[in-house]
C-alpha cells in the first residue's frame, strides 16, 4: 500500500479508499467534477479497486445500485458538490427501500463557502434525510485531526450499510484548495505513525464481528405448522440461499408454494409443490381466498401482483406467519400475524430438523393441477399465433433465456406481464428488479450494473417510457463487459394505465395518462452504436433474440404494440384461463 500523497487532501482521500477496500468495497463509480478531484484520483490510483466513470450522476447512482444488488457487496458512487449530489437521490431512495448497500461519497465546499453565494455550493448536510442508514459530515482535512477518526468513520458507515439494517449511507467530504495533486507540504510521516501497524496489515481499522443468527424464533412456528392441515407457503422477493431453503421446506411439508416473480422460484420451477401459475389460479373464485387455507407461511415480501397481496391480507385465513429479515414493517395490510425478523434460510434449516416430512395430499394436488392447466393454456395460446404481443414477449423470454441467465424486469407493466404470463418450463433464471420504490427511472443503468455484479448474460425487458427516461444509459451498453439484450416494448405511452380503472373513467385519459410520444428507438440504437432489431412477429422476435445472444454483443430489440390491444388481451386471457378451471375437474 502506497500512502505517499502530494498534499493533505490526497492523503485524506487515499486513506478513505484503502479503508473502503479493506471493508469489502471492490467497485467504485464516479462522475467527473472538480471538488471531488482528490477522491477520484485516489480511487483511480489505488490499484485494487475497479473504477468506472459515468457522464451523469443519476446514471452513476443506478449503475452502482444494480451492481450492489447483484453482487451483495457495497458499491461506492463519488460525486462533486451541488446538483450532482441531488441526482443520486432516486438511487438512494431505491437502495433504502430495497436494503442495498450503496455508499454515497460526495465532495463538498468547505464551511466558509456555504450560504454566501459561492458557486456550486448548497446544503448537502443530511440531504438524503432518513433514506440513509448512516450520515457523517466530515471535517475539512486537517493535520490536527487524527487519521484514526477518518478510518473509524468509514468503518462505521460500512458497518451500517452491510449490517442487520442493510442500506445506503452518505459520507459528505468537504475540501479546500488545492483540489489538484500539486505539492503542498504536510506532516505525512507523523500522521502515518499515528496509525501504528495499520499501514502494514490488511485489516480494517475497526473490524465489526458479525452477529450470530439465532433460530430460537423457529420454535414459535413449529407448533403452528404441526397444527395446520392446509398450509400455503407464499414466497416474495428472496435471495438465492433463501429460495432454495423455502423450496426444500415446501417439498418437506408437501404444501403448495406460491412464488412471486422475484422469488427465484417462479421461472424454471422443477418441483411439483411450486404453483408457478398461482397469479392466475388465484383469479379463480375457488382459489381466491386460499381454498380453505388454515396457515399462511410467508417468506419475504414486496409482491408484484395484487392477487398475491390480497391473499397475504385475506381475513378468512386466521393464522399467518411472516419470515423476513428486512427491517421495519413489511405488511401494508397490517394483518394480525407472527413476525419473525430473521433470515428465511436460517429459520428453514431449523424447521427441517424439527418437523417430520408429510406425504402428498389432495390439498396439494388441487393447486398443482390448477397451475398445470393454466400452464397448458398459455402454451397453447402463444404457440398458435405468430402475432407479436406484450404477454407473448414475456412468455417467450421466460423460455428463451438460458440456465443461469439474468432477467431484469422493468417496472410498471413489464414486470406484471412477466409475473402473469411467464412459463415455468424454461430454465432456472436470476430475476431482478428495482422494487424498493418501483420507479421507472434508472432501469437501463441498473441492469448494466446488475450484469456487471453478477457476471451473467442479461436480458432487460422494459417499456418505452422507462427507456426514454434512461435513454442516456444506452451509452453504457457498448462498454459493458457482460452483454445485455435490451427489449423495449413500445406501446407509445403509459401502457399500465390502460389496465387500471382510470382508463374507463378519465375524461382526458389519452392526454394525461396515455401520453403518446410517437417515437421509435432505431435512431437511439444508431446514436449509441448498438445492433438493432424490430421484429413484427413472434417467430421474428425469437430469431432476433437468439441472434443477439449468439453474437455476444449488447443489442436493442424494439417491439411495437398498441396499448388498447394489450389491455384487452390481458383481461381476456386471464379471465378465460380462470374460468376454464371451473369447467375442469381441478
Distance CA(410)–CA(522), nearest Å, equals 20
Q: What is the pLDDT of residue 40?
A: 97
Looking at domain 218-361, does it have CATH number 3.40.50.880? no
For the domain made up of 385-583, give the CATH fold.
Answer: Rossmann fold (3.40.50)
Strands laid side by side in the 338-340 sheet: 257-259, 231-235, 295-299, 320-323, 338-340
State the Cα–Cα distance between residues 113 and 96, nearest whole angstrom.
30
Give the residue extent of every domain in the chain: 8-200, 218-361, 385-583
What pLDDT score was predicted for residue 27? 98
State the greatest distance between any 2 C-alpha atoms of the chain, in Å, as a whole number.
85
Q: What is the pLDDT of residue 385?
A: 79
Q: How many CA atoms lie within 13 A of 163 on its CB side?
A: 15
pLDDT at residue 43, rounded to an integer: 97
Residue at grid coordinates 449488447: 554
Q: Is 29 exposed, middle or buried (0-12, 13-18, 19+ CB in 10 A)?
A: buried
User: In angstroms, rounded to a whole number, what is the distance separating the alpha carbons of residues 561 and 565?
Assistant: 8
Q: Which of 163, 157, 56, 89 is nearest to 437 (CA)?
A: 89
Contact between residue 30 and residue 79 where contact means Cβ atoms under 8 Å apart: yes
Nine-digit cell string for 255: 404444501
pLDDT tens, residue order, the chain (586 aa): 778 899 999 999 999 999 999 999 999 999 999 999 999 999 999 999 999 999 999 999 999 999 999 999 999 999 999 999 999 999 999 999 999 999 999 999 999 988 898 888 899 999 999 999 999 999 999 999 999 999 999 999 999 999 888 999 999 999 999 999 999 999 999 999 999 999 999 999 988 765 545 556 677 788 889 999 899 999 999 998 999 999 999 999 999 999 999 999 999 887 889 999 999 999 999 998 888 899 999 999 889 999 999 998 888 898 988 898 876 777 887 777 888 878 899 899 989 988 999 998 898 999 999 999 999 999 988 987 788 999 999 999 999 999 989 999 999 999 999 999 999 988 999 999 999 999 999 999 999 999 999 999 999 999 999 999 999 999 999 889 999 999 999 999 999 999 988 888 888 888 889 989 999 999 999 999 999 999 999 999 999 999 999 999 999 999 999 999 999 999 999 999 988 887 665 5
Does the domain formed by 8-200 have CATH 3.40.50.720? no
Concatenated DSSP letters of 25-76? --EEEE---STTHHHHHHHHHHSSSEEEE-SSHHHHHHHHHHHHHHH-S-EE
Determine the Cα–Cα distance for residues 521 and 533; give it in Å rounded to an integer: 10
3-state secondary structure of 462: strand
Q: How many C-beta atoms surround the C-beta of residue 315 within 10 A?
A: 9
Closest listed residue to residue 111, CA positions, set 63, 48, 175, 47: 175
Question: What CA–CA distance (Å, rounded) separates 431 from 409?
Answer: 7
- Whether the domain at 8-200 and the domain at 218-361 fall into the same CATH topology: yes
Write the DSSP assignment of 145-187 as a string of letters.
S-HHHHHHHHHHHHHHHHSTT---EEEEEE-PSP-S-------
Q: Taking the alpha carbons of 251, 430, 57, 42 in that order, is the dihedral positive or negative?
A: positive
Cell numbers found for residue 208: 465489526
**What pLDDT shows up at residue 155?**
94
Amino acid at each position: 500500500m502506497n500512502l505517499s500523497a502530494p498534499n493533505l487532501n490526497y492523503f485524506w482521500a487515499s486513506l478513505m479508499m484503502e479503508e473502503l477496500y479493506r471493508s469489502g468495497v471492490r467497485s467504485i463509480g464516479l462522475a467527473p467534477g472538480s471538488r471531488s478531484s482528490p477522491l477520484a484520483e485516489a480511487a483511480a490510483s489505488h490499484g485494487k479497486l475497479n473504477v468506472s466513470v459515468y457522464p451523469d450522476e443519476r446514471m452513476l447512482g443506478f449503475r452502482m445500485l444494480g451492481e450492489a444488488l447483484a453482487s451483495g457487496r457495497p458499491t461506492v458512487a463519488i460525486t462533486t458538490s451541488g446538483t450532482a449530489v441531488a441526482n443520486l437521490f432516486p438511487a438512494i431512495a431505491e437502495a433504502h427501500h430495497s436494503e442495498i448497500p450503496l455508499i454515497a461519497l460526495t465532495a463538498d465546499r468547505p464551511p466558509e463557502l456555504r450560504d454566501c453565494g459561492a458557486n456550486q455550493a448548497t446544503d448537502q448536510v443530511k440531504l438524503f434525510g432518513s433514506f440513509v442508514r448512516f450520515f457523517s459530515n466530515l471535517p475539512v482535512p486537517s493535520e490536527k485531526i487524527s487519521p484514526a477518526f477518518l478510518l473509524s468513520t468509514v468503518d462505521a458507515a460500512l458497518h451500517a450499510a452491510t449490517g442487520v439494517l442493510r442500506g445506503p449511507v452518505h459520507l459528505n467530504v468537504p475540501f479546500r484548495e488545492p483540489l489538484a495533486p500539486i505539492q503542498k507540504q504536510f506532516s505525512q510521516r507523523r500522521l502515518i505513525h499515528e496509525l501504528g501497524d495499520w499501514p502494514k496489515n490488511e485489516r480494517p481499522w475497526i473490524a465489526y464481528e458479525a452477529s450470530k443468527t439465532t433460530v430460537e424464533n423457529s420454535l414459535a412456528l413449529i407448533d403452528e405448522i404441526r397444527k395446520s392441515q392446509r398450509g400455503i407457503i407464499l414466497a416474495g422477493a428472496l435471495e438465492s440461499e433463501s429460495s432454495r431453503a423455502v423450496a426444500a421446506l415446501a417439498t418437506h411439508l408437501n404444501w403448495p408454494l406460491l412464488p412471486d416473480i422475484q422469488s427465484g422460484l417462479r421461472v424454471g420451477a422443477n418441483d411439483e409443490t411450486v404453483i408457478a401459475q398461482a397469479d392466475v389460479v388465484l383469479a379463480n373464485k375457488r382459489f381466491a381466498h386460499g381454498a380453505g387455507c388454515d396457515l399462511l407461511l410467508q417468506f419475504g415480501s414486496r409482491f408484484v401482483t395484487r392477487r398475491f397481496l390480497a391473499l397475504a391480507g385475506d381475513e378468512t385465513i386466521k393464522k399467518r406467519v411472516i419470515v423476513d429479515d428486512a427491517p421495519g414493517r413489511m405488511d401494508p395490510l397490517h394483518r394480525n400475524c407472527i413476525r419473525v425478523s430473521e433470515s428465511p434460510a436460517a429459520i428453514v434449516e431449523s424447521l427441517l430438523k424439527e418437523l417430520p416430512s408429510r406425504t402428498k395430499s389432495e390439498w396439494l394436488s388441487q393447486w398443482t393441477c390448477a397451475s398445470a392447466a393454466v400452464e397448458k393454456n398459455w402454451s397453447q395460446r402463444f404457440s398458435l399465433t405468430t402475432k407479436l404481443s406484450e404477454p407473448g414477449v414475456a412468455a417467450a423470454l421466460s423460455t428463451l433465456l438460458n440456465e443461469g441467465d439474468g432477467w431484469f424486469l422493468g417496472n410498471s407493466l413489464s414486470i406484471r406481464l412477466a409475473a402473469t404470463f411467464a412459463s415455468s418450463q424454461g430454465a432456472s433464471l436470476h430475476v431482478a428488479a428495482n422494487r424498493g420504490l418501483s420507479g421507472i427511472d434508472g432501469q437501463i443503468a441498473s441492469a448494466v450494473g446488475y450484469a456487471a455484479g453478477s457476471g451473467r448474460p442479461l436480458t432487460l425487458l422494459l417499456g418505452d417510457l422507462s427507456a426514454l427516461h434512461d435513454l442516456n444509459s444506452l451509452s453504457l451498453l457498448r462498454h459493458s463487459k457482460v452483454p445485455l439484450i435490451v427489449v423495449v416494448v413500445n406501446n407509445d405511452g403509459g401502457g399500465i394505465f390502460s389496465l387500471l380503472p382510470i382508463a374507463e373513467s378519465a375524461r382526458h385519459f389519452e392526454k394525461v395518462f396515455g401520453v403518446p410520444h410517437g417515437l421509435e428507438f432505431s435512431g437511439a440504437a444508431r446514436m449509441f452504436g448498438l445492433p438493432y432489431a424490430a421484429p413484427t412477429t413472434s417467430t421474428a422476435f425469437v430469431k432476433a433474440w437468439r441472434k443477439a445472444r449468439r453474437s455476444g454483443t449488447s443489442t436493442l430489440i424494439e417491439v411495437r404494440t398498441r396499448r388498447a390491444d394489450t389491455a384487452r388481451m390481458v383481461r381476456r386471457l386471464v379471465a378465460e384461463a380462470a374460468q376454464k378451471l371451473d369447467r375442469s375437474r381441478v
